[in-house]
């Protein structure tokens, strides 16, 4: 770990298309620095430049060049840099390596994850309602997929959770058969959204559903909730866990 005081900043200039044993040079250098315990390294890409061959390289929409200049930069203690230079010269090939003296005023610190509050064991049970909304995958609302807009609207209205299901075969009021194709190029399948919450919250949300769903089917069913969950205070659930909270 770096300490306050004198250090060396190393800049390695290579071409984006340069390879070392079939692997991009910048990637080989970054891997080498990582596994040698270097405190940190950054790769930046130029938009224009030229090198020893005096050939101008530039990136534009028509031609995406793989000859753009790249710079790999890191800061380390002098003794560590001296240990790495030999291998770096080999990896850089025809590229240039620059070493500058620098001073570390404040070293970076490894961020420590916040300790989560021990989860409280919560049992939820009782009467509730299940709302199912049936729409077509191609349906839109304000230039976005309707099913996605409905999920966002439910989240904004504090509906407990929602799951989106994609049908593989079915038909609706128009008697038109919707079928999931092998390559899924048509976006012509049926979509069902299923949400469970109190009757009061779901019925209050129905007015918005009526505005968003021009053609579709909405049903409400009685359900009994018997659910054990662990609810940690002041801790955000990962997306994967949050999705599992719905029926």
- The pLDDT tens digits for 141-181 are 988 899 999 999 998 888 988 999 988 776 665 666 656 55
- Nearest Cα neighbor of 165 from 122, 197, 130 is 130
Q: Select from 147, 145, 144 the least CA-distant residue to 134.
A: 147
The answer to whether residue 49 is domain-embedded is yes
Q: Is the dihedral of CA 183, 186, 187, 188 positive or negative?
A: negative
Q: Are 212 and 156 in contact (CB under 8 A)?
A: no
At residue 17 the predicted structure's pLDDT band, cuts being 50, 70 and 90, is confident
- pLDDT for residue 16: 84
One domain, residues 94 and 176: no
8 A C-beta contact, residue 12 and residue 88: yes
143 conformational bin, left if phi > 0, alpha if psi -120 to 50, beta if neither: left
pLDDT of residue 237 exceeding 50: no
Looking at residue 110, what is its pLDDT? 72
Cβ atoms 2, 104 nearer than 8 A: yes
**pLDDT (0 to 100) of residue 89:** 94
CA distances 219 to 129, 175, 209, Å, are 10, 19, 11
What pLDDT, on a 0 to 100 scale, did the predictor assign at position 121? 53
User: Which carries the bigger pLDDT value, residue 236 or residue 120?
Assistant: 120
What CATH number corresponds to the domain at position 216?
3.30.70.120
- Compute the average pLDDT of residues 214-230: 82
Query: What pLDDT does 60 receive?
Result: 55
**What pLDDT is recorded for position 244?**
40
Query: How many Å apart are CA 228 and CA 41, to the nearest integer?
Result: 45
Q: Is residue 109 part of a domain?
A: no
Residue 186 lies in a domain: yes
Indicate if 99 and 125 belong to the same structural domain.
no
Structure confidence by residue, pLDDT tens digits, 88-128: 999 999 899 999 999 999 888 777 766 666 555 555 677 89
Q: Are residues 150 and 100 in the same domain?
A: no
Verify that 148 and 206 share a domain, yes or no: yes
Q: What is the span of the domain harbouring residue 90?
A: 5-104
Task: Write the pLDDT tens digit of every residue in 31-87.
Answer: 999 888 898 999 998 776 665 556 665 555 444 455 678 999 999 999 999 999 999
């Amino acid at each position: 770990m770096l300490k306050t005081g004198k250090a060396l900043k190393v800049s390695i200039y290579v071409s984006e298309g340069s390879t070392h044993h079939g692997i991009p040079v910048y990637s080989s250098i970054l891997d080498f620095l990582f596994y040698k315990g270097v405190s940190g390294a950054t790769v930046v890409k130029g938009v224009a430049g030229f090198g020893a061959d005096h050939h101008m390289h530039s990136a534009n929409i028509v031609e995406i060049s793989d000859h753009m200049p790249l710079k790999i930069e890191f800061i380390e203690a002098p003794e560590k840099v001296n240990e790495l230079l030999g291998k770096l010269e080999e990896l850089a090939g025809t590229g240039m390596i620059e070493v500058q003296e620098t001073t570390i005023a404040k070293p970076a610190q490894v961020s420590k994850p916040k300790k989560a509050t021990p989860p409280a064991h919560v049992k939820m049970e009782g009467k509730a309602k299940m709302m199912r909304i049936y729409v077509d995958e191609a349906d839109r609302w304000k230039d976005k997929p309707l099913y996605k807009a409905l999920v966002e609207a439910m989240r904004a209205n504090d509906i407990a959770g929602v799951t989106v299901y994609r049908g593989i075969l079915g038909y609706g009021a128009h008697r038109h058969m919707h079928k999931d194709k092998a390559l899924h190029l048509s976006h012509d399948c049926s979509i069902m959204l299923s949400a469970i919450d109190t009757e009061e919250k779901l019925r209050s949300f129905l007015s918005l559903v009526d505005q968003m769903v021009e053609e579709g089917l909405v049903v409400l069913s009685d359900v009994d909730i018997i659910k054990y969950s662990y609810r940690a205070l002041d801790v955000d659930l990962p997306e994967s866990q949050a999705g599992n909270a719905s029926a």
